[in-house]
Structure 1
């Protein structure tokens, strides 16, 4: 995932990892950031969007993005929270017709010849309500791209990840299929999460040998930590992963058979995760 954005009091942030490559912020506003990623030989134009929550506040955004996209050279990806939908099936509930703002958004996508990259996972990316009577869900977040980008990365896909800590589901853009390495060949790394475990400080105190060379002591400590991580801490990690999978399954059921019982169960699991 190349980046993410956060809306807080009209502030927009773009975060990235250094290993992604060179990143230059070309242009930004309170509703989008245009960044150029890569080198001279291969460049990706990434535009992250967090449209204002009301149509009045985001008026002019589509025209501003149109100017940005027409000026770029190379493949373009535009993604984020557009705070509006394109079609009636992109929401649960409603009055049965699209708003003027939704129609304008759809026209903008067509006029710019952008391609909706579709998605894997849950249909909706935003939801609100804890009971069946007041539950509302919409697909407010998406990733669009130009034809050049779609042709170049034909295996690229977008995944809607589970709702865990927000009313929006994270979007994950993956350019190439994931290649899993051999777990036994991974280098040893200290995990910051270990510090939160109630037994960790005691384990370090009991395992560190002050009577031998530091390098040798570190090597022996690595063996101990690997074993402890697998047999003790790993159980916590596995339970967390299992809990996330249970939440994902419940959220999938909610999309197809909404009920107060499922909403209560989801909320209970989310509280356990925290």
Structure 2
């Protein structure tokens, strides 16, 4: 089930994507309330093309994992860390599908990082790996856009990773991917149609259950919080005017355009 968050005529809601082949075009079956704690369909259908897709969730926090793919760590001259490298991206960094990504004025080297994002479905803490699946609502595409020059020059990654628009999410949350399937999905990034990154989630140094356990030892996760699980090798520069797309097998494609910051 693909759960999208959308805006229509000033109203915001959730809907389940319906691509029944008997229909001429995809529609959203509007959800009563929100998808946390169960999805209740209303039976009211809206054409997908009639709405604006928003970030599929509004996370209280985005918890990201650095250097979780060995080849990516090596391409930047780093070793795989002995313990997961965890950092936070603020809620103000989150944008949705087709939203513009403003190029930060303080950077001259901004990179794309295609990532599988885990969406948390209920409040949780101290989750053992064996129970990680119980707290997952689903998965979506993410782009951990990074000011690489700032990341190199500052010990903390807050500015490099947390600027406005640096966390595109979408286009929806896929709820029917099992943890076993999530552990082996193709992930790709293109810039202006040219492939930049291509990997699989089975290349992660640490899998999703281990990451959830590690993170929830330290902090409580809330419904709608997002975990970014790391990026495969092939990261590279973005320029103003570029169209960057993240595609993950079984989920969909998240596309954004880089623009000059106002």
Higher helix share: 1
TM-score by length of 1: 0.28
Larger Rg: 1
- Of Structure 1 and Structure 2, the greater strand share is in 2
TM-score, with structure 2 as normaliser: 0.29
